[in-house]
Structure 1
């Protein structure tokens, strides 16, 4: 365990108590609040204080391309949920909240400045007064194709997926002194493989562990599987391995996320049945990752 994650683990008061209830085997997460039977969910994220954000669609998002971002928090033992204040009037998805809860990265088709057909990465700040105005992350990151799935390490390095090479691959961009990001660079092989989908990155706070989704990757269990790679001394990622049958099946598994204290693992599973929903699952992360 890295020093960054160890420090979070030692600060027990910083972690919401409900994380201790993470099951040993995957289960649907909060079926009456999050993994509902009447919605499709996408990319869950949570702050150290337990604020949850996730995408909600009425139809399968890759086909409908229509989504809202919702948020929930446990208050007095009860869960309260609502549409996120910054997500209104546009198709928004794929949120990532920083551990302190003060910054949310997300994906949107909102005008920038004109109406658009592709998704871009945005960021919005939160203060005691609420959320500010969302900002497009600019051409150092965003392309004319879909740019999706943000995840940010503690040093500010942004990881995300982009279709700019024709198939989705994972890229990273450093945060510049002026607060901008870029230029983006591919994380390269063996995470990205030619003509195969690698996407949905989740980067650990210390930037040393990359969890991601790959579609029909050799050695997988079929369709979308969740994999993990570790940073090597030269700054590349290697030692790629499948997370195994406890999580991956012949169906689609994708959108991996770890709680800030590394105690719980979240992901999405979607069955092969045409009527199956994409639902968020969770489980204990103990022994799951390097």
Structure 2
């Protein structure tokens, strides 16, 4: 998702959408439409996350112009994804919320919200924790320096608990960079810009990290529109491994790696359906048990 609606920079809607004709361009055969029928609609569905048991999906829903972000939740019941509803902790519009992420142990859910300053549409990172009975507790805002006066986007953690996110804060090159935050003691965080080649002067604003911290997928606008780029960790440095072969005529957002980093979900415009979730394999023979199908979708 992009900065402050996601702006000051959904660039402009016309530029990002690429025009109606571009929306009809074919999706490469390597990317498969995945959005479950129960949640697919005329607006955008993006940035899904799943509980470890695969029975709850929380995602970003927006209107067809990729505005008015809100969190929605669908439960796997009786072999099908159910009608989506807002999670209990979510705020209604005009507060805008997006980019949910359930940690691998299922004990914390990060997301971004403007609830602290709805009029400014400034996204900060918030979280909720599991409570007795299986629900979520009250929302908590992460402190500075994780949050800043600028927007923070797509919070994601690796197995070591490091928190990766995009931010347009002061000092970011190209209008947005990728940062990593480490909690050195309870409630006290340090934050560092990942630097080149991940933060390399283009407009980088989302980063998905694998559980082992060795694979990263970023969303970066390098001059035409936002696309997905893959990096691998080699020792102490990141090395770019090429662009994900999604539709070049559309912008992509909301990447989510499978637990084994062998498959990737993301969202892009899809004709009259606006934005939908797509699935792409990153290796020749991936584990096809992910994403969770809930029984109403054939495994792709």
Q: Could you state the TM-score of these two structures normalised by the residue count of structure 2?
A: 0.75
- 1:181 positional shift: 5.3
Matched, 1:241 2:238: no
Q: 1:279 aligns with which of 260, 276, 280?
A: 276
Q: Could you state the TM-score of these two structures normalised by the residue count of structure 1?
A: 0.78
1:230-280 deviation per Cα after TM superposition (whole angstroms, max 9, x unaligned): 12322x31234212x3x2423212221112244542011126x8x772221
Question: How many residues matched?
Answer: 250
1:75 aligned partner: 77
Structure 2: runs of 5+ lacking an equivalent: 1-28, 287-300
Task: Tell me, in whole angstroms, the C-alpha distance in 1 between the residues paired with 2:64 and 2:104.
Answer: 30
2:123 aligned partner: 119
Pairing of 1:264-275 with structure 2 (within 5 A): 264-270=263-269
Aligned with 1:83: secondary structure?
coil
Aligned with 2:53: secondary structure?
coil
Task: Tell me, in whole angstroms, the C-alpha distance in 1 between the residues paired with 2:225 and 2:122.
Answer: 24
Pairing of 1:191-230 with structure 2 (within 5 A): 191-194=198-201, 196-216=202-222, 222-230=224-232
1:193-248 deviation per Cα after TM superposition (whole angstroms, max 9, x unaligned): 22x1112211011111111111126xxxx5222111112322x31234212x3x24
Matched, 1:33 2:35: no
- Structure 1 stretches (4+) deviating beyond 4 angstroms? none
Task: Tell me, in whole angstroms, the C-alpha distance in 2 between the residues paired with 1:98 and 1:197.
Answer: 26
Q: Please tell me whether the aligned partners of residues 55 and 94 of structure 1 are also in contact (alpha carbons under 8 angstroms).
A: yes
- 1:75 positional shift: 2.1
Matched, 1:186 2:175: no
Q: Please tell me whether the aligned partners of residues 36 and 81 of structure 2 are also in contact (alpha carbons under 8 angstroms).
A: no
Q: Please tell me whether the aligned partners of residues 258 and 266 of structure 1 are also in contact (alpha carbons under 8 angstroms).
A: yes
Q: Please tell me whether the aligned partners of residues 102 and 126 of structure 1 are also in contact (alpha carbons under 8 angstroms).
A: yes
Distance verdict in 2 for CA 1:33–1:128, change over 3 Å: farther
